[in-house]
Amino acid sequence: MRRRIVTLAIAATVVAVVLFGVPLAVLLAHTGWEDERTEVGRVAISAALSISDELKGAAAPRLPAAPAETRLAVYFPSGELRGGEGPRFADEAVAEAFDGETELDDTGSAFVAAVPIVDDGALLGVVRAEKPRYAAHLHTALLCSIILGLALVSVGVAWLLARRMARRLARPLEDLSGAAKVLGEGDFTVRAPMSGVPEIDSLGQSLGSAARRIGDTLDRERAFSAHASHQLRTPLAGLRLQLEAALESPADPRPAVRTAIEAADRLERTVDDLLVLARDTTATQVADLDALLAELESTWGEPLAARGRAIRISADEAPRPQASAAAVRQVLNVLVDNAYTHGRGTVRVTARDAGGVLAVDVSDEGEGVAPGQQLFTRKSGGHGIGLPLARSLAEADGGRLVHVSGSTFTLLLPVGVRV
């Protein structure tokens, strides 16, 4: 890419120099040529004016000093050289000037100007000025050399600027390519450095956003894989209890079977919720808080009762949350499961209005954990194995999950409408 940018810039510069420089060189050469012819004619006219009075006498006129490389001569009307430097006999230009007209000739190896000197209609002589043409050629060559030098300087400057621009454009693209390669290798924290080129920076930001989204999606998938067994263990335990109860009461197993079917339904719903939330945690609907709390009580009532414990739920004047029902259900299940597994005594779930947001407090009668313990770090082990997933689900719906103190956790969610 760098080579193509440099090549294109050099080609454009060369074309511009040719289109501008060649006509300029031709124009300057023509102008210089005309200036030389005009200058020779001017010198001849000046000399004719200075010696016109002297030609009236018999003495040889004194010609003025001529410029460098210019020769002056004066001729009798008979065509013979009377003074100065020039051909011994009149040449074609001088012969034509005898007719009374100034003659300029540049067909030979020199510029020649012949100016007649006339007094009262009588031809007194002709002044001839001559300058070699090679001087004009040297002047034209000098101008062309200057133009060529400027053209080469322009091409050189264009080459340097093109290399700099190519480096500025290619390096960010190479960085983007490297970032894309790293992203393909599974590093979703990759970020392309800012280059100062708005279009490339926009592309880099899009790549970074895509990497973050892919990383978040994979994190949710991994969180589902890591915590699915934990979330499914309690429904499976309830199902097992009901099946064992059916075995112990063979006379009429139907109540136990119905309860087992309900547990299987809850298990299926849990699987569906986790599969959906593992892919997309964005929700805009208003969740039915009463139904969620009733389901929570139905799910955990029997497992807690089997341990001699109880669950108490209170939701007086609580607003409805603007959140995914699946997310709220799973977060509450994680919190109650945490109290079921690590706590003791009665589990209390209290939904309340906390100044424009819904707050759901989940607590038990156990000592809980110290405030400084890292409960929401994945793979931390110990208390709250599902808490990292619960916090990520809450935050994905615009809420928060906080450890208040001891065994008390509070889920904060944005409010939809009041019930």
Tens place of pLDDT per residue across the chain (419 aa)? 678 888 888 898 889 888 888 888 888 888 888 888 888 888 988 888 888 777 776 666 788 888 888 899 998 888 888 888 888 888 888 888 888 888 888 777 888 999 998 887 788 889 999 998 887 788 888 888 898 899 899 999 989 888 888 877 777 777 777 878 887 877 777 777 777 778 777 877 787 788 888 877 777 666 666 666 666 666 677 677 777 777 776 667 777 777 778 777 777 777 777 666 665 555 457 888 999 999 999 888 988 998 999 999 998 888 889 888 888 988 998 899 889 988 999 999 999 998 889 999 999 998 877 665 666 665 544 444 478 778 888 888 889 999 888 889 999 999 875 54
Query: Is residue 156 domain-resident?
Result: no
E strand or H helix at 131: strand 122-132
| SS3 at position 329 | helix
Q: CA-CA distance, 178 to 336, in Å (whole number)?
A: 46
Domain count, the chain: 2
Domain stops at, among 144, 169, 200: 144
Are residue 227 and residue 362 in the same domain, yes or no?
yes
Two tokens, residue 146: 């200057």
Query: Which CATH number do you get for residue 393?
Result: 3.30.565.10
Are residue 407 and residue 286 in the same domain, yes or no?
yes
Are residue 121 and residue 231 in the same domain, yes or no?
no
Q: CA-CA distance, 268 to 235, in Å (whole number)?
A: 9
Are residue 220 and residue 131 in the same domain, yes or no?
no
Query: Is residue 410 domain-resident?
Result: yes
Q: For residues 207 and 194, is the Cβ–Cβ distance under 8 A?
A: no
Structural domain boundaries enclosing 44: 2-144
Query: Is residue 104 domain-resident?
Result: yes
Give the single-character DSSP code of 55: G
Query: Is residue 407 domain-resident?
Result: yes
Its pTM stands at 0.47
Nearest to 131 by CA among 40, 4, 21: 40
Query: Is residue 302 domain-resident?
Result: yes
Query: Which CATH number do you get for residue 95?
Result: 3.30.450.20
Are residue 135 and residue 243 in the same domain, yes or no?
no
pLDDT at 235: 67
Nearest to 407 by CA among 387, 377, 378: 387
Query: Is residue 364 domain-resident?
Result: yes
Nearest to 392 by CA among 225, 223, 209, 227: 223
Query: Is residue 324 domain-resident?
Result: yes
Domain stops at, among 101, 122, 144: 144
pLDDT at 383: 42
Q: What angle do CA 285, 290, 292 make, to 5 degrees?
A: 70
Domain stops at, among 93, 116, 144: 144
What count of other Cβ atoms lies within 10 Å of the Cβ of residue 395? 13
CA distances from 350 to 303, 309, 360 (A): 20, 17, 5
Q: CA-CA distance, 134 to 363, in Å (whole number)?
A: 109
Are residue 304 and residue 220 in the same domain, yes or no?
yes
| SS3 at position 291 | helix
Query: Is residue 113 domain-resident?
Result: yes
Two tokens, residue 45: 């006219």
Are residue 110 and residue 236 in the same domain, yes or no?
no
Are residue 89 and residue 224 in the same domain, yes or no?
no
